[in-house]
Amino acid sequence: MKRLFSNELFHIHTYRCGHAEMIGDEAYIKKALELGKTGIWFTDHAPFPGDPFGHRMAYAGLEEYLRTLSELKEKYAGTIDVRIGLEIEYFPSFDRQGYYSQLKDDPRIDMLLLGQHMAEDEYGTYTFSWDARKKNREEYAALGEAIVRGIKSGYFGIVAHPDRIFRRKKTWDEGMQRTAEEIIQTAYVRIVPLEINLVSLGTKRQFWLEFWNLAPADMPYVLGLDAHSIEDVDPGKSSESMGVSV
């Protein structure tokens, strides 16, 4: 596999999401400079109009997020590349409303990161509302289908933690294999890199070597910190230091 952004900090959240350290954005930039990095990618959890979901910034805060980071991007131009992104799920109903096009067309946004934490089903409800038995049995397939549809939409530059969709599974099976193959093949054909997520690496049943062993030798990938605090920006963290070689 071919790693991208090897000297950049990728996948940084901010305090706006409500479950990250209450520090300013500039602290992460200064930390990146201290570590000798050439770039930093902010990818906080994107809001949706009407604020129907939790664990993300409020929709009213999106403009401030983009404005503040744009100012920092200009301030540090020539010193470090400050990239502005949003981690966001793909939901067909919001696609029909034009929300992803609106975000992608905003010149301040460098990339949309597809992070599928839940999926919208055919009835217009979401997988988080399913009962536990159904989630354990079927959630990964719904999330996988959403990822594939998201990749094909053309809105997203990278797929975050694709193997995390299997977090409710205990052992690898044929259904997981089929879903993994479809995600990897779709991303490979569309030249959309996948993220090996360091938080997933350290969390039970969120990182699956069976998934990554299916990837072609020249599959592009990024190593994502999924940082929610300064402590998460750890120069000692790497896939190798955590016992994984890709």
Contact 45, 56 (CB under 8 A): yes
CB atoms inside a 10 Å sphere around CB 47:
21
> Which residue type occupies 49?
P
Which positions ≥6 away from 169 have C-beta within 8 Å? 136, 140, 176, 205
The model's pTM is 0.95
CATH for the stretch 7-232: 3.20.20.140
Listed in sequence order, the residues at least 6 apart from 127 whose beta carbon sits closer than 8 Å to its beta carbon are 118, 119, 120, 121, 135, 139, 142, 143
pLDDT per position as a tens digit, 129-163 = 999 999 999 999 999 999 999 999 999 999 999 99
User: To which residue do tokens 């990822």 refer?
Assistant: 147
The 10s digit of each residue's pLDDT in 36-63 is: 999 999 999 999 999 999 999 999 999 9
Ordered by start, the domain boundaries in the chain are 7-232
